[in-house]
Amino acid sequence: MYNKVFLEVDDRGMVYREMPGKNFALGLFDAGEINKNITSVNEIKVNLRNKKLVVLVHGEEVYVMSMTLPKVGRKNIYRIIEEEIENKFKKMNDIMFSYRIIRHFRHSLEIMVFCMNYDSRKLIEECHSAGFCVKGIVPVQFYIWETYRNKIKSESYIFILMRNGILYFMVCHENKMVLNNVFENMKKSDFFYILRQFQMKLNVLLNNFRFQRIFFVDFPYTDIIEKLSDTYFCEDLSDGVKKDMKKEALKYSDKR
**All structural domains of the chain with their residue ranges:** 4-59+120-141, 63-117, 153-236
pLDDT at res. 32 = 59
pLDDT at res. 245 = 38
pLDDT at res. 244 = 45
Beta bridge partners of 65: 113
pLDDT at res. 250 = 37
pLDDT at res. 242 = 46
CA 133 to CA 127: how far, in whole Å?
7
Q: What are phi and psi of 120, to 5 degrees?
A: -105, 5
Q: 51-88: per-residue pLDDT in tens? A: 778 888 888 888 888 888 988 888 888 888 888 888 87
Amino acid occupying residue 10:
D
Return the SS3 of 243: helix
CA 51 to CA 247: how far, in whole Å?
25
Low-confidence ranges of the chain (pLDDT < 70): 1-4, 19-35, 48, 50, 90-93, 239-256
CATH number of this structure's domain 153-236, picked from the four choices 3.90.1150.10, 3.30.1300.30, 3.30.420.260, 1.10.3720.10? 3.30.420.260
H or E segment at 123? helix 121-130
Amino acid occupying residue 52:
K
Enumerate residues 6+ apart whose C-beta is below 8 A from 96.
115, 116, 117, 118, 120, 137
* Cβ pair 2, 46 in contact under 8 A: no
CA 176 to CA 238: how far, in whole Å?
21
End-to-end CA distance of the chain: 10
CA 15 to CA 235: how far, in whole Å?
28
Enumerate residues 6+ apart whose C-beta is below 8 A from 48.
41, 130, 131, 132
User: Against a cut of 0.85, is the pTM above it?
Assistant: no
Pairing of strands 95-104, 33-38: unpaired
Beta bridge partners of 215: 159, 235
Q: What are phi and psi of 8, to 5 degrees?
A: -85, 135
Q: For 237, left (φ over 0), alpha (ψ -120 to 50), or beta?
A: alpha
Q: How many residues does the chain have?
A: 256
What contacts 24+ positions apart, CB below 8 Å, involve 42-45? Answer: 42/126, 42/129, 42/130, 44/16, 44/130
pLDDT at res. 7 = 85
pLDDT at res. 75 = 84
Beta bridge partners of 99: 113
CA 225 to CA 232: how far, in whole Å?
9
